[in-house]
Structure 1
Amino acid sequence: MAKDTFLNRKTTLNLNGKLVDLSSPCVMGILNLTNDSFYSNSRTSTIEQALQRAEKILNEGGRFIDIGAYSSRPGAKDVSEQEETDRMVTAVEAISEAFPEALLSIDTFRAKVARGAIEAGAHLINDISAGDMDEAMFQTVADLNVPYIMMHMKGTPQTMQQHTTYQHIMLEMANYFSDKVTTLQKMGVKDIILDPGFGFAKTLDQNYEVLRHMEDFNIFELPVLVGVSRKSMIYKFLGGGPEDALNGTTALNTIALLKGANILRVHDVKAAAECIALVGKTQQQ
Structure 2
Amino acid sequence: MKDQNNMKTSLTVPLQLFALALVLLAGACKAQKTADQKIIADGAELTLVADDYEFTEGPAVDSKGDVYFTDQPNDRIMKWNASDNSVSEYMKPAGRSNGLYFDDEGNLLSAADEKNELWRIDPDKNVTVLTDGFEGKKLNGPNDLWVDGKGGIYFTDPYYQRSWWTHNEPPQEARSVYYLAPGTDTPRVVGDIDFEQPNGIIGSPDGKLLYVSDIDAKKTYEYDIRDDGNLYSRKLYAEMGSDGMTIDNRGNVYLTGDGVTVFDKYGNQIQHIPVPETWTANITFAGPDQKTLFITAMDSVYTLEMVVHGVR
TM-score, normalised on structure 1?
A: 0.33
**Which is strand-richer, 1 or 2?**
2
TM-score, normalised on structure 2?
A: 0.31
**Which is helix-richer, 1 or 2?**
1
